[in-house]
Structure 1
Amino acid sequence: MTRPAAGVLPRLHALRHSDGWIFGTMLLSACLSLTASFVLSVDALALAADPAADLSCNLNSVVSCGTVGSSWQAHLFGFPNAFLGLMCEPVVITIATAGLGGTRFPRWFMFAAQVVYTLGLVFAYWLLSQSMYVIGALCPWCLLVTVSTTLVWSTLTHVNIRDGNLFLPRRAQAALRAAIAADLDALAVTIWLLALALLIVLRYGAALFG
């Protein structure tokens, strides 16, 4: 009776480590981020034309895309931050689509992608911290970008560790490869996102729905 159940876990493990699952997750996450970036770009243009524009995601004093989009943090480089997503996510979509087809990019390219996307991840969480603790409002589309960026980064990191693209010392490479083989990366990302949700609830509580 226990044999069928015992065989499920190895199959799930093999599925999670397959190119179809990894690059499929990367592709879906990048598409979600691109969609959110497009909506945010449209909203940014609407705010530029009318700073008092009533955006569809202006739900209350806490959940307000307009409040976040009107801040200086939303235009840190002199243009809407969402434009960065429009430029970067198509590259990730290309990597994911090619990966699903069995293509492997040069090691230097994947290392460069890791560096650039890590900077993007840091930037996304800086913007989230500014939104939560300085601006005092949340943007649902921005949160979607943050979550999808986290998922893209985690899958990209998984691939680069697995394929040895990060130019790490031999011992570090072996330790990290063992960690992803044991699914510790999936556990870490799950805890990471749950902690993020808990942090938002603790910060705003019932005001999120008020």
Structure 2
Amino acid sequence: MPETRSRPTALAVWLVLAGAVGWWAAFSLTLEKLHVLENPGAALGCDFNVLVQCARNLDSWQGAVFGFPNPLLGVAGWMAPVVVGMAVLAGARFSRWFWALFTLGMTFAFGLVCFLIVQSIFVIGTLCPWCMVTWVVTIPSFYAVLLHSIRIGALPLPARIRSGADALMGWLPLLAVLSYVAIAVAAQLRLDVLSYLF
């Protein structure tokens, strides 16, 4: 497959920043999990009240979907966007197949995050602070990588869709904000978040 012709510098910068923030959130949540294992019943630094806390999420089966704590996925997984972003900034030009595989990885991350958002709000009934940081960076990262892969032809789609993806790149902040608003509305309707804030 031919290599992409232009360097997506803005995307690369975002991937590095989002990867760093996501990694820090995952690492912090991993430390909290280790703290709980060493001190059962101890209060966690991210437990603010009955609604905003990490403990119930970490102790639930959803907190270890694949049999080990979810934050370990983040500690390993968030390195990929950082490495890809730094490589692009250093001048690397990846082939379309690479972007297709990277999009597949980001789609997995996005799907897992969507599953955990639903579980957190509608089943567990809490909002984990470090988890929310992960949501905030995963959602726009997925949109950005998906749209970039479509516009460069890494995904076999018609030219009209590729042009649409290119145009949508400028609307990424709005897409992310609309996603955050949808999550906030769902959390408010289900958990009455505002009553805990005021």
Question: Is the pair's TM-score, using the shorter chain for normalization, greater than 0.5?
Answer: yes
Which of these two proteins has the greater Rg computed from alpha carbons? 1
- For 1:138 and 1:67, locate their aligned partners in 2 and report how far apart those are by CA, in whole Å: 9
What is aligned with 2:4? none
Larger deviation, residues 186-195 vs 114-123: 186-195
- The count of corresponding residues between Structure 1 and Structure 2 is 192
- For 2:168 and 2:134, locate their aligned partners in 1 and report how far apart those are by CA, in whole Å: 27
Aligned counterpart for 2:127 among listed residues 138, 159, 174:
138
Work out whether residues 46 and 129 of structure 2, in 8 Å CA contact, stay in contact via their aligned partners in 1.
yes
Moved over 4 A (4+): none
Q: What letter matches 2:193 in structure 1? A: G
What is aligned with 2:3? none
Structure 1 residues 39-54: aligned runs within 5 Å: 39-54=28-43
CA deviation after TM superposition for structure 1 residue 24, in Å: 1.3
What is aligned with 1:25? 14
What is aligned with 1:170? 159
Q: What letter matches 1:106 in structure 2? A: S
User: In structure 2, the residue corresponding to 1:59 is in which secondary structure?
Assistant: coil
Q: Does residue 199 of structure 1 match 2:186?
A: yes
User: Structure 1 vs Structure 2: percent identity of aligned residues?
Assistant: 30
- For 1:137 and 1:159, locate their aligned partners in 2 and report how far apart those are by CA, in whole Å: 34
Per-residue CA deviations over 1:57-93 (Å, capped at 9, x if unaligned) read: 1111111111111111101111101111111111110
Structure 1 residues 1-210: aligned runs within 5 Å: 19-180=8-169, 183-203=170-190, 204-209=192-197
- For 2:157 and 2:55, locate their aligned partners in 1 and report how far apart those are by CA, in whole Å: 43
- For 2:40 and 2:157, locate their aligned partners in 1 and report how far apart those are by CA, in whole Å: 48
Larger deviation, residues 165-174 vs 110-119: 165-174
**CA 1:206–1:33 in 2, change beyond 3 Å: closer, same or farther?**
same
- For 2:48 and 2:156, locate their aligned partners in 1 and report how far apart those are by CA, in whole Å: 46
- For 1:56 and 1:102, locate their aligned partners in 2 and report how far apart those are by CA, in whole Å: 41
- Normalised by the length of structure 2, the TM-score is 0.87
CA deviation after TM superposition for structure 1 residue 22, in Å: 2.3
Per-residue CA deviations over 1:133-176 (Å, capped at 9, x if unaligned) read: 11111100000001111122122123223322122233332333
Per-residue CA deviations over 1:98-131 (Å, capped at 9, x if unaligned) read: 1222312121111011012111111111111111
Work out whether residues 67 and 137 of structure 1, in 8 Å CA contact, stay in contact via their aligned partners in 2.
yes
